[in-house]
Amino acid sequence: MTRSFPSTSGIHHVTAIAGDPQRNVDFYAGLLGLRLVKRTVNFDDPGTYHFYYGDEVGRPGTILTFFPWPGAPRGRRGTGQATTTAFLIPPGAMGFWVERLKRNGVATSAVVPRFDEEAVAFDDPDGLALELVASADGAVEGGVPRGRVPAEHAIRGFHGVTLSEEGFERTSGLLVGTLGFQQEREQGNRFRYRSGGEGPGLFVDVLCQPDAARGVVAVGTVHHVAFRAADNADEEAWRGRIARAGFNVTPVLDRQYFRSIYFREPGGVLFEIATDPPGFSVNEPVGALGARLMLPPWLEPMREALDRSLAPLTPPRAAE
């Protein structure tokens, strides 16, 4: 796969909105066997948790993050949203996961073929649309046993995301012409794009749904999708490229674990580009990731108040 211009190496993270924080931890760390690699707050709204789940160290391409808003209304899936987040599992792991989900009361779709892969759809407790995709790409190393999920069946990170759009041409132009994806396949109204990287999180599917209602971002929906930049210099280069393409893009923002820029793609989905470094071990050792509330230096004076206002958390409930 050759490109004459830079390509992002794939998805860095996906951020969604949850309801109850403990229920969120139980589902993702308990049932799905992801690791809670960082427990912090929304830097723009410190009274709200910000959870990061991923592999053992939170590598880019494995990170699903949440802002839990207890008591907030449910959102609505629709156009202008990333409507499905898909996890990558190894070939042969589908039976294990379908049985595990159903045993724990999670309704699933039928397993369906898609291109040369198999996918099963289900929702998290807040209605966030998820998929497990069994693919040869899932044979990569990286599975770690957690709870009752053995290493050979463990989620390897993201497969990709699905964007729902009224039309796909302008979004396709951004993905291919600016971010360096390559349109790989199409099936009906689904158009698949692949980044130039390796590992998890390589795919973006665009669903063309001109008759669908516009989505509403709230509990149970994706807030934004972040793509990878190699380092700070690469981030600045991406910012310049995106601005020259005519998009309103933010200044570079310090998110402590990465640096970020944000802009909206033509269909309305909020995109971010985030640097791979410094990563989640910048302020706590790998063995202790996610064990306690971590705050950036400018929020440390608020720690006592935040400890009182944030809901207490217990270790994730073990799934059967």
Per-residue model confidence as pLDDT tens digits over 144-162: 667 789 999 999 999 999 9
Domain assignment present for residue 223? The answer is yes
Confidence class for position 142, pLDDT limits 50, 70, 90 = low
185-203: per-residue pLDDT in tens?
A: 999 999 999 998 888 999 9
Query: What integer is the mean pLDDT of 302-317?
Result: 93
Strands (E) in 213-275, as ranges, are 222-229, 253-254, 259-264, 270-275
In a domain, 15, yes or no: yes
8, pLDDT greater than 80: yes
Instruction: Please identify which residue in the block is written with the tokens 């310090």.
Output: 254
How confident is residue 4, by pLDDT bands cut at 50, 70 and 90? very low
Residue 139: the pLDDT is: 58
Write out the residue range of the structural domain in which residue 19 sits. 11-309
In a domain, 99, yes or no: yes
What is the secondary structure of 153-173 as a DSSP string?
A: G---EEEEEEEEES-SHHHHH
- Among candidates 11, 30, 12, 223, which has minimal Cα distance to 125? 30
CATH assignment at residue 173: 3.10.180.10
Other CB atoms within a 10 A radius of the CB of residue 288 amount to 10
Residue 221 lies in a domain: yes
Dihedral (C-alpha) 28, 49, 266, 216: value to the nearest 10 degrees? 80
| pLDDT exceeds 80 at position 138 | no
DSSP assigned state of 21: H
Per 3-state DSSP, the chain is made up of helix, strand and coil in percentages (nearest 5) of 20, 35, 40
For residues 228 and 12, the answer to whether their CB atoms sit within 8 Å is yes
Q: In the predicted model, what is the mean pLDDT of the chain?
A: 94
**Residue 316 within a domain:** no
Considering the domain boundaries, does residue 3 fall inside one? no
Domain annotation covers residue 106: yes
Side-chain-side CA neighbours of residue 52 (13 Å):
30
Is 201 within 8 Å of 158 (Cβ atoms)?
A: yes
Total number of domains constituting the chain: 1
User: Cα(183)–Cα(192) distance, rounded to whole angstroms?
Assistant: 6
**Cis peptide leading into residue 91 (ω within 30°):** no
Residues 130, 82 contacting (CB under 8 angstroms) = no
Residue 140: inside a domain = yes
